[in-house]
Structure 1
Amino acid sequence: MLKNWIAAGALALTAGMTTTAAFAQTTTVPGEQVGLATGAPLPEGVYALNTFVYRSNDFNPAGAGVDVAVNVPVIVWSTPWVPLGGRLELLVAPPTVFAFGRGGGATGVRDLSINVGTFVGGIWAFDLGGNFGVSLLGGAYLNDLNGDRGLLVANNGTPLNPLGAVLGQLSSNTYRIGVAGSYTGDGWNLTANLTYNFYDTPARFENANAIARTFLYRPSDALNLDLTATKKFDLFNEGKAKFEFGAIGYGTVNLDTSASTLAFNNRGYFALGGLIGYDFGLFTAQAYVAHYVASDRRAYGNGDITEGWFRVIVPLYSPTPAPAPAPIVRKY
Structure 2
Amino acid sequence: MLKNWLAAGAVALSVGMTATASFAQTTTVPGEQVGLATGAPLPEGIYALDTFLYRQNRNTAPGAVDVGVNVPVLVWSTPFVPFGGRVELLVAPPTVFAFGKNSGPNGSRDLSINVGTFVGGIWAFDLGGNVGVSLLGGVYLNDLNGDRGVLVNNAGTTFATPVLPQLASNTYRAGIAISYTGDGYNLTANLTGNFYDSPATFGGNNFFGTRGPFIISDSLNLDLTATKKFGKFEIGAIGYGTANLDTSVNSLAFGNRGSFSLGGLIGYDFGPVTAQFYAARTVATAVRRSETTELWGRLIVPLYSPTPVASAAPIIRKY
TM-score over 0.5 (shorter chain): yes
Unaligned stretches of 5+ in structure 2?
312-319
Q: CA deviation at 1:158?
A: 1.5
Residues 66 and 109 in structure 1, CA contact (< 8 A), matched pair in contact too? yes
Q: CA deviation at 1:24?
A: 0.3
Q: How far off its partner does 1:181 sit?
A: 0.2
8 Å CA contact retained: 2:8, 2:43: no
Q: 1:169 — aligned with what? A: 166
Aligned to 1:316: 303
Match of 1:263 in 2: 253
Which of 239, 242, 263 matches 2:232? Answer: 242
Alignment of 1:1-332 (within 5 A): 1-7=2-8, 9-10=10-11, 12-61=12-61, 63-161=62-160, 164-209=161-206, 212=209, 214-233=211-230, 241-298=231-288, 301-302=289-290, 304-321=291-308
> 1:211: Cα distance to partner?
6.0
User: What are structure 1's unaligned runs of at least 5 residues?
Assistant: 234-240, 325-332
Contact 1:149–1:208 (CA under 8 A) maintained in structure 2 = no
- 1:172 & 1:186 partners in 2: Cα distance? 43
> Any idea what SS the aligned residue of 2:259 has?
strand
Partners in 2 of 1:204 and 1:229 — Cα distance?
40
Contact 1:8 1:47 in 2 (8 A): no
Write the distance in 2 (CA, Å) between the matches of 1:123 and 1:316: 19
- The AA in structure 2 aligned to 1:94 is P
Give the conservation status (yes or no) of the 8 Å contact 1:220–1:255. yes
1:152 is displaced (CA, Å) by 0.4
2:4, 2:310 → 1: CA distance? 25
User: More displaced, 1-10 or 283-292?
Assistant: 1-10
State the SS of the aligned residue for 2:300: strand
- How far off is 1:213 after superposition? 5.7
Q: Using the alignment, how far apart are the partners of 1:271 and 1:146 within structure 2?
A: 31
SS in 2 for 1:13: coil
How far 1:157 sits from its partner (Å)? 1.4
> How many residues get paired?
310
CA contact (8 A) 2:198 2:214 kept: yes
Q: Tell me the distance in 1 between the aligned counterparts of 2:181 and 2:284.
A: 29
Q: What is the CA–CA distance in structure 1 between the aligned matches of 2:215 and 2:41, rounded to whole Å?
A: 35
Contact 2:10 2:41 in 1 (8 A): no
In structure 2, relative to structure 1, the CA distance for the partners of 1:2 and 1:134 (3 Å cut) is: farther
Contact 2:40 2:178 in 1 (8 A): yes
**Change in 2 beyond 3 A, CA 1:262/1:322:** closer
**SS state at 1:84 partner:** helix
Cα 1:7–1:24 shift into 2, 3 Å: farther
Q: 1:287 to 1:85 in 2, by over 3 A?
A: same
> What secondary structure, in the 3-state scheme, does the structure 1 residue paired with 2:10 have?
helix
Q: CA deviation at 1:122?
A: 0.3
Shift of 1:9: 3.1
Q: CA deviation at 1:3?
A: 3.9
Q: Which has the larger radius of gyration?
A: 1
Deviation at 1:8, TM superposition (A): 5.2
Q: Which residue of structure 2 lines up, in the alignment, with residue 236 of structure 1?
A: none
TM-score between the two structures when normalised by the length of structure 1: 0.90
Report the secondary structure of 2:34's partner residue.
Answer: coil
Check conservation: 1:6, 1:313, Cα contact below 8 A: no
Q: In 1, are the aligned partners of 2:10 and 2:42 still within 8 Å (CA)?
A: no
List per-residue Cα deviations over 1:66-90 (Å, max 9, x = no partner): 1001000000100000000000000
Indicate the SS of the match to 1:160. strand
Match of 2:202, SS state, is: coil
Cα pair 2:72 2:94 within 8 Å, conserved: yes
Q: Indicate if the aligned counterparts of 2:139 and 2:173 stay in contact, CA closer than 8 A.
A: yes
Distance 1:273 1:322, change over 3 A: closer
Contact kept, 8 Å, 2:169 with 2:198, in 1: the verdict is yes
Give the 3 Å change call, closer, same or farther, for CA 248–225 of structure 1 in structure 2: same
How large is the Cα RMSD of the aligned pairs? 1.6
Distance in 2 between the 1:323 and 1:267 partners? 50
- Give the Å deviation of 1:226: 0.2
Q: Give the deviation of 1:2 after TM superposition.
A: 4.3
Deviation at 1:186, TM superposition (A): 0.2
Distance 2:195 2:37 in 1: 24
Confirm or deny: 8 A CA contact 2:3 2:272 kept in the other structure: no
The alpha-carbon deviation at position 209 of structure 1 amounts to: 3.1
CA distance in 2, matches of 1:242, 1:213: 49
The 8 Å contact of residues 9 and 49 in structure 1, kept in 2 or not, is answered as no
Identical aligned residues as a percent: 69
Distance 1:32 1:208 in 2: 33
- Cα distance change, pair 211–244 in 1 and its aligned pair in 2 (3 A): closer
Matching residue's letter, 1:22: S
